[in-house]
């Protein structure tokens, strides 16, 4: 009898635990190419903390940093397939899939980070986020990715002329290929994870990125000449698999959306600090920074706009972005 009672209690207890584990716990798997501690990684972790707290522990986010789930283009496909729930990616690799992302990938489209914030926090930003939906994704929020500039292993760049004939890695998008070609250099589209060894072995002369990426991916070890031409300000985006989103109740969808939104300010603060810190680190480690006159770089972008800004939707987006003060 005693044994029976003990057994029944044990069974009841394990059933309760199982129900709790299966019915209540939602674990969202999230991907990022950057290492632990990077502002985007920390922002998604923070979003996870908010979600856990606000859902009384029912919803958790697990961040797989350092490209553990693959390079960005592959993780985008895995997210569309619902294998990955959340993905923090640059807008660049979306250019072939989501036409709305092309406008923010145009060189010098934003005058400053402040201008970018105003645009992305407003109607245009919302419209671009909505552009992900027909492609199996839900756009949740934008993060900062600073300004991208060229760096290389060969020589300091002080003018557009210095770029002539050099080979630079770009993210996998036709816009970036044409951007580099318009500057008289040669573009090599490659996944992020292949940049270091490609510079080291001389397959390419350099790449282009912001200070935190240049520093954290250690590209600064193999390409010591950084030129602050700031040709791209491409926002980062946090997307969710549409299939994972659809599995959530409307209440949980609202929680996810709000937590993503609330992580934006946190990311911006972390980003601002990391930009300064990374710049100091690379300078201390021997990188030299030149500041070429930007105007000739801007002037050289005419053909890129002529080729890529052809349909009415994109034209009007460009105009609306430029009109934001």
Contact between 230 and ligand GTR (CB under 6 A)?
no
User: Which one of residues 42, 72, 178, 205 is an interface residue with ligand GTR (CB under 6 A)?
Assistant: 72
Judged by CB under 6 A, the stretch of 123-131, 206-214, 238-246, 307-315 that binds ligand GTR is 206-214
- Interface with ligand GTR (CB under 6 A), residue total 12
Minimum Å gap between C-beta 88 and ligand GTR is 7
User: Which one of residues 209, 263, 267, 278 is an interface residue with ligand GTR (CB under 6 A)?
Assistant: 209
Pick 210 or 244: Cβ nearer ligand GTR: 210
Contact between 113 and ligand GTR (CB under 6 A)?
no
CA distances from 192 to 89, 187, 195, 205, 281 (A): 12, 14, 6, 15, 21
Contact between 263 and ligand GTR (CB under 6 A)?
no
Contact between 244 and ligand GTR (CB under 6 A)?
no
Contact between 236 and ligand GTR (CB under 6 A)?
yes
259-265 — which CB contacts under 8 Å span 24+ positions? 259/47, 259/48, 259/50, 259/51, 259/54, 260/47, 260/140, 260/141, 261/140, 261/141, 262/47, 262/50, 263/43, 263/44, 263/46, 263/47, 263/50, 263/141, 263/238, 264/43, 264/141, 264/142, 264/143
Pick 50 or 67: Cβ nearer ligand GTR: 67
Minimum Å gap between C-beta 267 and ligand GTR is 11
Contact between 215 and ligand GTR (CB under 6 A)?
no
- Helix (H) or strand (E) run with residue 269 in it: helix 250-284
Crossing angle of the two packed helices 123-130 and 113-120, in degrees rounded to 10: 70
On whether the CB atoms of residues 199 and 223 are closer than 8 A, the answer is yes
Contact between 287 and ligand GTR (CB under 6 A)?
no
- Cα dihedral sign for 95, 279, 143, 260? positive
The three-state secondary structure class of 30 is strand
Pick 33 or 55: Cβ nearer ligand GTR: 33
User: Which one of residues 30, 87, 113, 210 is an interface residue with ligand GTR (CB under 6 A)?
Assistant: 210
Contact between 101 and ligand GTR (CB under 6 A)?
no
Sites for ligand GTR among residues 29-58 (CB under 6 A): 33
Phi-psi region of 146 (alpha: psi -120 to 50; beta: other; left: phi over 0): left
Minimum Å gap between C-beta 24 and ligand GTR is 33
Give the integer Cα–Cα distance in Å for 54 and 50: 6
Binding site for ligand GTR (CB under 6 A): 33, 72, 89-90, 92, 145, 171, 192, 209-210, 213, 236
């Amino acid at each position: 009898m005693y044994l029976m009672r003990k057994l029944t209690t044990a069974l009841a207890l394990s059933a309760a635990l199982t129900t709790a584990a299966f019915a209540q716990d939602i674990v969202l798997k999230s991907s990022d190419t950057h290492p632990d501690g990077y502002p985007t990684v920390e922002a998604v972790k923070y979003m996870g903390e908010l979600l856990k707290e606000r859902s009384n522990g029912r919803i958790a986010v697990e961040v797989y940093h350092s490209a553990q789930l693959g390079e960005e283009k592959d993780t985008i496909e895995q997210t569309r397939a619902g294998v990955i729930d959340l993905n923090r990616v640059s807008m660049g690799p979306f250019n072939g899939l989501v036409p709305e992302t092309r406008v923010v990938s145009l060189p010098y489209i934003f005058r400053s980070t402040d201008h970018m914030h105003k645009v992305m926090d407003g109607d245009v930003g919302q419209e671009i986020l909505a552009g992900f939906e027909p492609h199996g994704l839900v756009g949740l929020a934008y993060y900062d990715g600073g300004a991208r500039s060229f760096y290389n292993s060969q020589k300091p760049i002080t003018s557009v002329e210095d770029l002539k004939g050099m080979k630079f890695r770009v993210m996998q998008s036709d816009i970036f290929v044409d951007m580099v070609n318009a500057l008289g250099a040669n573009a090599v589209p490659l996944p992020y994870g292949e940049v270091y060894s490609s510079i080291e072995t001389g397959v390419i002369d350099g790449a282009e990125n912001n200070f935190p990426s240049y520093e954290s991916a250690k590209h600064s070890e193999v390409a010591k000449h950084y030129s602050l031409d700031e040709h791209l300000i491409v926002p980062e985006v946090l997307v969710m698999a549409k299939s994972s989103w659809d599995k959530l109740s409307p209440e949980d969808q609202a929680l996810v959306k709000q937590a993503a939104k609330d992580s934006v300010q946190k990311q911006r603060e972390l980003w601002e600090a990391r930009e300064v810190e990374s710049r100091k680190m690379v300078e201390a480690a021997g990188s030299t920074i030149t500041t070429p006159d930007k105007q000739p770089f801007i002037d050289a972008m005419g053909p890129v706009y002529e080729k890529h800004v052809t349909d009415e939707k994109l034209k009007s987006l460009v105009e609306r972005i430029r009109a934001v003060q």
